[in-house]
Amino acid sequence: MKWPSRNWIVRAWSAFLRHVLRSLFGGLLVAATLHAHGQNSEISDFQSWDEVDVSARLSSNVDLSWVSQGRLSTGYPNPATYLTGADLKLGLGHHVEIVPSYYYLGLRSVTGHSGHFHAPMLSATVRSAWKGFTVADRNRFLGAIRDGSNFWVYMNRPRVDKRIGDRRWGTSVFMWDEVFYFSLFHQWNRNRFASGLRKQLNDNWAADVYYLRQDASRIQPRNINAVGVTVEIRIR
């Protein structure tokens, strides 16, 4: 069997990195456009985004996770949103992950009205690591199912992680940017940018702490600044 040359590997890595960087800068451009479009009628909010993921390994490349998430507003009815459900993570080699999911999602509008959705989702992530950097690109399709108001959402999120210090520390910084296409509005109308710190405490516990900015052109609040904490627990 003839192995790929080193030059081929470098070219493939460079193309993947260029794609992720274009997506990141493209996402920032979308955010700026959405901000300019909605600044005359925008409502802003500061929120706390908190999440707990509990996972169990079913086999060498299959994990089952239970996800619970809540978002609390400082200025509007709470909880702003809450979500619970399950992920089935299927690893395809070292670089690709497929995740079918099901969530139950509840939310409150700024006027206090509540809504509930069943949300099946399918995501695919391509990931590569190089010299302390991990670069990933996640694509997700979500169906929001509710009597009389069904729609779907496509999301794309490139992410870059950079390890800090020795590998044994389990510490890294990260940045990601996610853009949203809502079939309900037939347009790209939301952008999320986040940056933070990830700490692997041991084989069973890890946590992300981050700052997030969300800009939207059709759904209130238009602008959200948030501090988020995600705790990951592995039970087997």
CATH 2.60.120.890 assigned to 6-234: no
Do residues 55 and 88 touch, judged by C-beta distance below 8 A?
no
Q: What is the pLDDT along the chain (236 residues), one digit of tens a residue?
A: 344 444 544 455 555 555 555 555 555 444 444 444 444 467 999 999 999 999 999 999 999 999 999 999 999 999 999 999 999 999 999 899 999 999 999 999 888 888 899 999 999 999 999 999 999 999 999 999 987 789 999 999 999 999 999 888 999 999 999 999 999 999 999 999 999 999 999 999 999 999 999 999 988 898 999 999 999 999 98
pTM of this prediction exceeds 0.75 = yes
Using CA atoms, how far apart are residues 231 and 207, in angstroms rounded to an integer?
A: 5
DSSP letters spanning 17-57 = HHHHHHHHHHHHHHHHHHHHHHTTS--EEEEEEEEEEEEEE
CA atoms in the 13 A half-sphere facing the CB of 142: 20
What pLDDT does 149 receive? 81
Using CA atoms, how far apart are residues 110 and 77, in angstroms rounded to an integer?
A: 7
Do residues 100 and 121 touch, judged by C-beta distance below 8 A?
yes
Please state the domain extents for the chain: 6-234
Residue 109 dihedral angles phi and psi, to the nearest 5°? -80, 170
Using CA atoms, how far apart are residues 80 and 223, in angstroms rounded to an integer?
A: 14
Using CA atoms, how far apart are residues 85 and 67, in angstroms rounded to an integer?
A: 5
For residue 120, say if its preceding peptide bond is cis, omega within 30 degrees of 0: no
Amino acid at 85: G
| Cα angle for residues 78, 44, 182 (degrees, 5° grid) | 85
Torsion, CA 10, CA 137, CA 73, CA 50, rounded to 10:
-80
